[in-house]
Structure 1
């Protein structure tokens, strides 16, 4: 099953993540190193699923964790370190693909690996894709609009808040609720969370 391969990398959150995040936000390099070591494998699988290039994947993740460290004070506002790192990595992958204009290459890589036992085949991918789209369309209007503005148009939380005339914290609440709904739906159908990258890559 596709999910069995991915699950070996999908770890539960660290029991002391909150303390490590607080310490990292204060500049504790050892605490940050523990977060890095724990979550790197999961992120590596998701990013490499799209780039199909270990060197590019490593570059994306190095930049991801470097950016987080540079703005580590913001970690105090983060509820999930993994989701926060995942979002930054996703944006960097977008930038990489736009620069190289390899949207088609990403899909070709998916097709080439479709027959592998650890990846969904073309039919399964289409079913997962359709399932995810139904889940997005099933969200209430505000959650759906916020989710699509963030993932399709790349607007910041602040920009979305200004557009709707609501607080940034409210925007984040709706966005993460939508994200977790979609993630849960995919996992229930045996789909790797990396499929989310492809959904955003190809538009909805």
Structure 2
């Protein structure tokens, strides 16, 4: 299909969408849902949130259909919605996490039991460390416990500094995944205290 034919096809879909035809929305969803997902995932780094963005974008498109320009670029319109929704979700999630951390810290200081929480976090950390693959565990311990730089760890493990970095990133992803069961505030405290 040529670019001209593609524009005509899109123009017909936009007109059908403006007329309230759900099959036009379905065609646009089929064509652009993966692209919207990629935009959302690039911003959010979370598959569930990104899937929510896809749904929300096409609901917003449907609700805004009467304002569409049949000669305009539908992808540009969808792209702008996808970016806005993704960035709004990112702001919301960061605000929620910050709010949870402040609440959690307030609860800790109110209870004056910070030592107990630290012990709980250390116990969880030790559980995860045992589950890490050998080189990830070694790189993590040398970095976090021994305080060595990536270069020093690389020399000691006889691997490249970028490989050390990758091992530590993977280890932290495992921690994040594990701590997620207990809530992000606990994971954030783990990161702050390490």
TM range (shorter): 0.3 to 0.5
Q: Which has the larger radius of gyration?
A: 2
Greater length-normalized contact order (CA 8 Å, ≥ 6 residues apart): 1
TM (norm. structure 1) is 0.41
